[in-house]
């Protein structure tokens, strides 16, 4: 179903733009989204939803019942990243917070979750205004801790689908480095599974001038990092896809002291259970093997953290949503996407509820800037998600996000 008119923009957009800029200026780390959650809860309450806070930590759930019919879940994530913003925007973040290790870290919405919250707040309000045009139930879910791929599972384990209406479909979206106003879509596997490992390697410390009296965990860590690069290149079949990244290496306190330990943070991305198992096993084999070769006095400790499943768009449901988005925006504003190696935990909701998931991307950067970069072969140089310089232009990004969620929901609700 198409939107009846654009009258909503006059009344809702100014407030939504203010909300977005406020959230951007005041980001919060994963699991600490208290202020953001309060803003989301207020937006839902103002639109007439039944609101429950504190679901799975700081999660917020809004329910709008409008007679019999399907239950449609709309989801937005809320957390920010430990990144120092470098956008130069007048509403840029200057926030610092305490990170998991107790150190002060800069915080920024470098992944666009502030735009997700504002878009869902707008869609929730717009659907409330359009109650005469649909029947059923809207389940609006503001999820914490997506960046830890833990928030969705936390909400499910806190009884999301027992305490609230069980959805017939889960809809979600993510802003990304497409031209603002564009929508990117894909059927089947959309985003990779993610497995994260925290690894502690053990050596025997001593003076830097007497390495023969030590077992150097820094050298051990370096050997592991280099050897891991061969997993995808030499163990994953050429027709398959996987990524192994060492994003963190920490060791030592001074240049002339060989430390006792070193730590690594490793992420694995894959699209099938077989490749996922192959890569995880290879990572463990290499870590343990290098420790033996190095003479480590203790076996490494490998702690696998929260994981995200492969995000799979249900084919039939995706085609139906895509038809509605095409009718509303026009074919020229939609573009197919390849599989994306990044990960998302929104798929946990659909898996837990046993219902289809449909997830799409929409553009945030200035369309002219992106188009010019594409034409000149510089697209990879543009700031993308998690970059200190990433921030969507407010319009048409916000309007597109609100309308995409609303149109997709209307098409799934009863008429």
Annotated binding-site residue? 386: yes
Task: Confirm whether residue 174 is marked as ligand binding.
Answer: yes
Rounded Cα–Cα distance for residues 335 and 40 (Å)? 30
Cα-Cα-Cα-Cα dihedral sign, residues 199, 205, 207, 210: negative
CA-based nearest residue to 392, from 126, 81, 181, 106: 181
Measured distance CA(413)–CA(390) in Å, rounded: 34
> Is the separation of the CB atoms in 267 and 276 below 8 Å?
no
Instruction: Give the Cα separation of 50 and 73 in Å (integer).
Output: 14
Q: Is position 111 annotated in a ligand binding site?
A: yes
Place of tokens 């084919």: 315
Nearest CA to 367 out of 400, 342, 344, 339 is that of 400
Burial of 313 (0-12, 13-18, 19+ CB in 10 A): buried
410 contacts 133 by C-beta, under 8 angstroms: yes
Question: Is 389 assigned a ligand-binding role in the annotation?
Answer: no
Tally of CB atoms within 10 A around 111: 25
What are the binding residues for Mn(2+)?
Answer: 111, 113, 147, 174, 386
What are the binding residues?
Answer: 111, 113, 147, 174, 386
């Amino acid at each position: 179903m198409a939107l009846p008119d654009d009258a909503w923009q006059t009344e809702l957009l100014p407030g939504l733009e203010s909300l977005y800029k406020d959230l951007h200026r005041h980001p919060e780390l994963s699991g600490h989204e208290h202020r953001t959650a309060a803003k989301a809860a207020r937006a839902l309450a103002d639109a007439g939803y039944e609101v429950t806070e504190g679901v799975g930590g700081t999660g917020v759930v809004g329910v709008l019942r409008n007679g019999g019919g399907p239950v449609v879940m709309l989801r937005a994530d809320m957390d920010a990243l430990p990144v120092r913003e470098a956008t130069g925007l007048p509403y840029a973040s200057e926030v610092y917070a305490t990170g998991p290790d107790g150190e002060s870290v800069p915080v920024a919405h470098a992944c666009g979750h502030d735009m997700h919250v504002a878009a869902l707040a707008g869609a929730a309000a717009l659907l409330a205004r359009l109650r005469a045009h649909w029947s059923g139930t809207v389940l609006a879910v503001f999820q914490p801790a997506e960046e830890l791929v833990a928030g969705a599972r936390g909400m499910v384990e806190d009884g999301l689908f027992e305490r609230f209406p069980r959805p017939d479909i889960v809809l979600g979206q993510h802003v990304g480095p497409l031209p603002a106003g564009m929508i990117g879509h894909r059927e089947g596997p959309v985003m990779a599974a993610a497995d994260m490992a925290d690894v502690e390697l053990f050596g025997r410390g001593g003076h830097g001038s007497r390495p023969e009296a030590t077992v150097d965990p820094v050298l051990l860590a370096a050997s592991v990092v280099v050897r891991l690069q061969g997993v995808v290149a030499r163990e994953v079949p050429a027709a398959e896809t996987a990524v192994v990244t060492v994003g963190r290496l920490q060791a030592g306190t001074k240049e002339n002291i060989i430390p006792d330990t070193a730590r690594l943070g490793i992420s694995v991305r894959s699209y099938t259970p077989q490749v996922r198992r192959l890569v995880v096993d290879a990572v463990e084999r290499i870590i343990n093997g290098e420790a033996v070769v190095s003479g480590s006095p203790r076996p490494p400790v490998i702690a696998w953290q929260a994981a995200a499943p492969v995000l799979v768009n249900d084919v039939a449901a995706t085609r139906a949503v895509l038809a509605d988005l095409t009718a509303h925006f026009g074919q020229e504003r939609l573009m197919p996407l390849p599989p994306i190696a990044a990960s998302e935990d929104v798929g946990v909701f659909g898996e837990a509820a046993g219902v289809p998931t449909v997830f799409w991307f929409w553009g945030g950067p200035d369309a002219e800037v992106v188009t010019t970069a594409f034409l000149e072969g510089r697209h990879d140089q543009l700031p993308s998600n998690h970059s200190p310089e990433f921030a969507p232009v407010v319009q048409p990004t916000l309007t597109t996000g609100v309308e995409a969620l609303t149109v997709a929901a209307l098409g799934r609700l009863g008429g």
